[in-house]
Amino acid sequence: MSFSVEEAFETAGMILFHNFDIRAVTLGVNLKDLVRPDAAELAGLAHERLAGLGARLKAEAEAVSQDLGLPIVNKRLSITPAAWLIEPCPEPDAPLVLAQALDRAASEAGVDFIGGFGALVQKAMTAADCRLMEALPECLSRTNRICGFLNLASTAAGMNLDAVARLGQILKAMAATSDDALACAKFVAFANAPEDNPFMAGAFHGGGEGDVALNVGISGPGVVRAVVEKYPDCDLTMLSEVIRRTVFKITRAGELVGRELARRLGVAFGVVDISLAPTTMVGDSVGRILQAMGLEQVGAPGTTAALALLIDAVKRGGAMASGHVGGLSGTFIPVSEDLAMIEAVECGALSLEKLEAMTAVCSVGLDMFAVPGDTPAHALAAIIADELAIGMVNHKTTGVRVIPAPGRVPGDAVDFGGLLGRAPIMPVNRFSGERFIARGGRLPAPAGALRN
């Protein structure tokens, strides 16, 4: 892949003035060959492999970043779903033994997170799936760098309402482990979870992957916002074209980094995830892009349409720039990690219901939002079921990261600091769906899934 001098100068300007970076390089690692009936032996082997690969990833990523002049913010690992790994381990504490070994490996290697501590339970649950689910509160609260996930629904299988209902109770237990419910911020519930996602908390190395693969997550909301602001009066057709061209350029930079880093590591290059991922830095906001498109506030009438245009342009531009676009590839709209989203909630422009409507066209779902600490488990389960139904019916990935913040009520906020930001508490509809959730069973797959 060759770059022109003009492209090099454009990329330098993106970095210097608009917070452009490679948000994450994530090395997906197969651990299935390490499965043992003894949890301590499994944990030791996993620790050894991941500490070594993680240290190499960190060193080579820093070298590539320096050589190419492109910031790489996060270095991460993802693993085979942990429930598969503990399947033959009879020890009740097998999930915690494995989680703590993974956490030590991440710390020693200097990588930011290890994803994949989860299970695929969209249709039913094995005994190992159940053990891992029940252990999530302890495992995520007693480790620093482990992220968990559950895939609870898919277009092909439907939705496992028994698992969703149980997850509501598990989230309450997670929230109770700390004053800021940080464990909940390290966990995501999915429909149609992608197997090559480089972003946390939902990254895992899927069953269809090889032994090792490098996946790259780009960013660039500040770059897109800046270019949208240059065209305040153009029509939407031209605006889409402007965004597509911009995303093409930033995807090219992500592809360059990914291929070079994979070459140096001697591993397969997986995908470029072209999702626009905001941070709490001024200007690095997806919400500000929507405002630059003409909205007074995120949540105003027209928000869903504007977001649909943005995501379509992002996907088109990225697909033109890379033959290996994957992961989530769209636009993140987390509340706590985006200043414009925080402002919209605080001024009353953005409700939970409007946020859910936006996710119908968004690739990620209800992300990093906080609700009152006394929200019942059945209400949390119902919120998750609503969001996963959108993904299941529309053949798309959706996810939920909800934080029931202990002791907080609407008007309060919970502050995580760093990239996780600050989440204002969003009120939850006071009417109950408890009887619906209590029915359990499996929500059937949509008729559109019958494509064979």
Residue 347 lies in a domain: no
Give the pLDDT mean for 341-362.
93
* Domain of residue 239, CATH code: 3.20.70.20
- pLDDT per residue over 324-341, tens digit each? 887 777 788 889 888 999
Rounded distance, CA 239 to CA 259, Å? Answer: 30
pLDDT given for residue 17 in this prediction: 44
Q: What pTM, to 2 d.p., does this model score?
A: 0.91
In this structure, what token pair is assigned to residue 64? 């590539």
H/E segment holding residue 389: helix 377-393
Positive/negative CA dihedral, 209, 105, 421, 74 = negative
Residue 193 lies in a domain: yes
Asked whether residue 102 carries a pLDDT value surpassing 60, the answer given is yes
Give the pLDDT mean for 355-360.
92
Do the beta carbons of residue 274 and residue 221 sit within 8 Å? no
CA-closest candidate to residue 421, choices 384, 386, 369, 375: 369
Give the pLDDT mean for 67-71.
84
Give the pLDDT mean for 425-443.
94
Residue 354 lies in a domain: no
pLDDT given for residue 67 in this prediction: 87
CA-closest candidate to residue 102, choices 83, 121, 115, 88: 115
pLDDT given for residue 277 in this prediction: 80
Rounded distance, CA 164 to CA 176, Å? Answer: 19
Peptide bond into 99 cis (omega under 30): no
Residue 438 lies in a domain: no
* Alpha-helical regions (H) of 271-376: 286-292, 303-321, 339-346, 352-358
CA-closest candidate to residue 137, choices 91, 169, 98, 102: 169
Work out the number of other CB atoms within 10 angstroms of the CB of residue 264.
17
Give the pLDDT mean for 53-74.
90
Asked whether residue 177 carries a pLDDT value surpassing 50, the answer given is yes
- pLDDT per residue over 253-296, tens digit each? 888 888 999 999 999 998 888 888 887 776 678 999 999 999 99
Asked whether residue 46 carries a pLDDT value surpassing 70, the answer given is yes
CA-closest candidate to residue 291, choices 364, 367, 221, 363: 221
Asked whether residue 1 carries a pLDDT value surpassing 80, the answer given is no
Give the pLDDT mean for 124-134.
96
Residues contacting residue 233 through CB under 8 Å, at least 6 positions apart: none
Question: What integer best gives the mean pLDDT of the chain?
Answer: 89
Do the beta carbons of residue 318 and residue 247 sit within 8 Å? yes
Residue 429 lies in a domain: no
- pLDDT per residue over 366-387, tens digit each? 999 999 999 999 999 999 999 9
Rounded distance, CA 173 to CA 250, Å? Answer: 41
Do the beta carbons of residue 119 and residue 132 sit within 8 Å? yes
Give the pLDDT mean for 144-161.
96
pLDDT given for residue 16 in this prediction: 42
For 352, how many CA atoms within 13 A lie in the half-sphere containing its CB?
A: 25
Give the pLDDT mean for 213-218.
90
Please report which confidence band the pLDDT of residue 188 belongs to, taking 50, 70 and 90 as the band edges: very high
Q: Identify the domain containing residue 177 by its residue range.
A: 1-334
Residue 283 lies in a domain: yes
Residue 399 lies in a domain: no
Please report which confidence band the pLDDT of residue 305 belongs to, taking 50, 70 and 90 as the band edges: very high
> How many domains, the chain?
1
Give the pLDDT mean for 420-438.
92
Residue 417 burial (CB < 10 Å; 0-12/13-18/19+)?
exposed
- pLDDT per residue over 2-45, tens digit each? 545 454 445 545 554 445 678 889 999 999 999 999 999 999 99
Return the minimum-mean-pLDDT range out of 27-36, 312-321, 400-409, 438-447: 312-321
- pLDDT per residue over 383-401, tens digit each? 999 999 999 999 999 999 9
Residues contacting residue 424 through CB under 8 Å, at least 6 positions apart: 335, 342, 345, 346, 370, 412, 413
Residue with tokens 């290697």: 109
Residue 444 lies in a domain: no
- C-alpha 240, offset from chain centre: 25
Do the beta carbons of residue 106 and residue 52 sit within 8 Å? no
Q: Characterize the bridge pairing of strands 113-120 and 413-417.
A: unpaired
